[in-house]
Amino acid sequence: MIPVQGFAGARIAILGLGRSGLAAARSLRAGGAEPVCWDDNPAARAAAETEDFAIADLSRPGAFDDIASLIVSPGIPHLYPAPNPIVAAALRAGVPVDNDIGLFFRSWATGQWDEFDVMPRVVAVTGSNGKSTTSALIHHILREAGKPTQLAGNIGRGVLDLDPARDGEVVVLELSSYQTDLARALTPDIAVFTNLSPDHLDRHGGMGGYFAAKRRLFSEGGPDRAVIGVDEDEGLFLAGQMAQTPADDRVIRISVARKLAGPGWNVFARKGFLSEYRKGRQAASIDLRSITGLPGAHNHQNACAAYAVCRALGLAPRVIEAALRSYPGLPHRSQVIAEAGGVTFVNDSKATNVDSAARALAAFPRIRWICGGLEKEGGLQALNAHAGNVAKAYVIGREAAAFAMQLDVEAEICTTMARAVERAMADARPGDTVLLAPAAASFDQYDNFEQRGEDFTAQVRARLADEAGE
């Protein structure tokens, strides 16, 4: 646990008592503050009461009269599409609003660090797609290199649940736009921007607000180094704003769309080869094509970002390459779950938007595509340009027929995962990939994308076992 600094003796309100909210309450109490908790869900309030936290209805008049700050959980809107009424009441009362990420950055460093030989550092990763894999990959490389490291944020543990820093430790944080948008302190040593595509637009008031939320990771605290994907206009703009000169190696540009030239520090992947260039000269190269845990151009972008971070942390290319080859991949993200009869089965349930699904479709040569679910804003037309490798689509979800009508490939309405897996396996031939890449949210049929991926995995394994007579 990281005790929160700066609030000793103060009453701090906490809105939302999920994982991050309860962790914030514990850390505030450990730092000498008095947490005052509220959640609309009675079960969440009851769970907080079992830990002896004070419960107070923050919607009542005068609730913020003696409150020093309000800590808000990520899922609660503070501006768009409309502020939560309790957040609005706090702002009208002049009470500062923050989240657990802001508390972490103000509390991570302590006086004990004076005894360390090497200062701990924080790597923070944001972007629309690939941030989970990039974060996990950096963490994996550091562990394989024997470096002390922890992984937290939008993946793994909550930031305030981390253990106190060790000498030379590197903490890797995955941060969503919901987390970066509100945090009052954002001071990573290395900040990573993977890419940008439309997502969460209602929460941020459009693409401009969405990009602004991501950009805060770079503008609020000024990281020592910035690793920036420049395959979209927003990334190009951000890299240009962060660099003082064309040769400024505090900015490492990454790409999977083109070779990056110029006098700066560049890492890019083309035709399956990762290349590092510094001052216009090649410094290293890695063949990514045989690394099973990182299939496709989208994972090659993740590899470029992780490689750049680890080079900035002082690791040698050969050390990074060895760790890349041992990376097992993350569940639900281009995860190979089985191979049988020449057919590969891949669980990419995390591909919940059009852009991430398009990246998955580009990663395999002949695809039996399981897709569908709760459609997001913008429709599916952009996917059709990336469906050249799709032999057939098998559509799930409550609105499967409407989803299928937007696809320019042969599509079968299956509705359920069980039916989709059955039909895809019946049609599959050696060399095919049965790919779950829904391009939609899961909430019409599942609690979350993990549950959807687990269902796909269970259905595939059960049918393979039946075919094997087990």
Binding-site annotation, residues for ATP: 127-133
The whole-angstrom separation of Cα 395 and Cα 386 is: 17
Nearest Cα to Cα of residue 59 among 96, 86, 21? 86
Nearest Cα to Cα of residue 267 among 173, 364, 194? 194
Grouping H, G, I as helix, E, B as strand and the rest as coil, residue 410 is coil
Tokens 């002896």 sit on residue:
52
The whole-angstrom separation of Cα 437 and Cα 199 is: 16
The whole-angstrom separation of Cα 230 and Cα 248 is: 15
In the annotated binding site, the residues are 127-133
Nearest Cα to Cα of residue 329 among 102, 64, 127, 132? 132
Q: With beta carbons less than 8 A apart as the criterion, state whether 348 and 369 touch.
A: no
Nearest Cα to Cα of residue 108 among 156, 70, 147, 160? 160
Task: Say which DSSP state 341 is in.
Answer: T
Task: Take residue 413 and report the two structure tokens written for it.
Answer: 């309405």
Let me know the angle formed at the C-alpha of 94 by 88 and 99, rounded to the nearest 5 degrees: 65
